[in-house]
Amino acid sequence: MENCICKSNRLKFDSMTKAITPTTVNEIFQKIIDNDFSDLDGLAVYASIPVPQHLLNEIIEAALQGHRNIEYCRVSMGEQNRISINVKTTRWPWPLNVKVWIFKSVDLAPSPRIRALLENNVLLGKLGSFFKALPEGVKLYGEQIVIDVEAFLQTEQQKKFLELVKSIEIQTEKGRLIFDVQIRIDG
């Protein structure tokens, strides 16, 4: 460490050393993305991602911003993949409490789809689908709700990251949703 002075766990590089700046790091990551992650051939990641209920509600709120038919939507995580959804739509005078059972496996082809079964308010769900009250990317087929994850992604980078995902399994605990994800880069 000839070229740096260490003080209170901070490094200060002298003028002889080229420091890596955030712009340079960003450029490196952008190059990796632009090359479809081919520089990381053979990468395998297995992750369990616990998403607390409050964070999931923030994500839902952001995704629904500007949606003309839904005033608010809040989810509560239960055990055994049971979720309670409180939703208020402009097309119905009262808030709805919808209970769903979410499938453990996420269907990845042709784009990731999360599936759930309506456990109550099936008729209202069908009416909501008929009157196009559901957001783009959310469809109802009989008693099954299908959420197309890609419909909620906003950038090409997010879509490229999603293409790396090889499998996703979902489980719930009280107050959180857990994604078990496998990411692989095969050149």
DSSP 131-164: TT-SPTTEEEETTEEEEEGGGG--SHHHHHHHHT
Lookup result for tokens 């009989």: 142
- The pLDDT value given to residue 22: 63
**Among candidate residues 114, 112, 82, the one with its CA nearest the CA of residue 97:** 82
Per-residue pLDDT reduced to its tens digit, 54-70: 999 999 998 888 888 88
Q: What is the mean pLDDT of the chain?
A: 83
Asked if 54 and 176 count as a contact pair (C-beta separation under 8 A), the reply is no
Per-residue pLDDT reduced to its tens digit, 102-140: 999 998 888 899 999 998 866 666 665 655 667 788 888
Q: How confident is the model at residue 21 (pLDDT cuts 50, 70, 90)?
A: low
Per-residue pLDDT reduced to its tens digit, 144-164: 889 999 888 888 888 888 888
84 pLDDT above the threshold of 90 = yes
74 pLDDT above the threshold of 60 = yes
C-alpha pair distances (Å), 133 with each of 16, 90, 93, 125, 142: 62, 8, 13, 9, 16
- The pLDDT value given to residue 9: 46
In sequence order, the 6+-apart residues with CB closer than 8 A to the CB of 146 are 113, 114, 115, 138, 139, 140
C-alpha pair distances (Å), 152 with each of 75, 108, 111, 149: 17, 15, 12, 6
- Report residue 119 as tokens: 């456990």
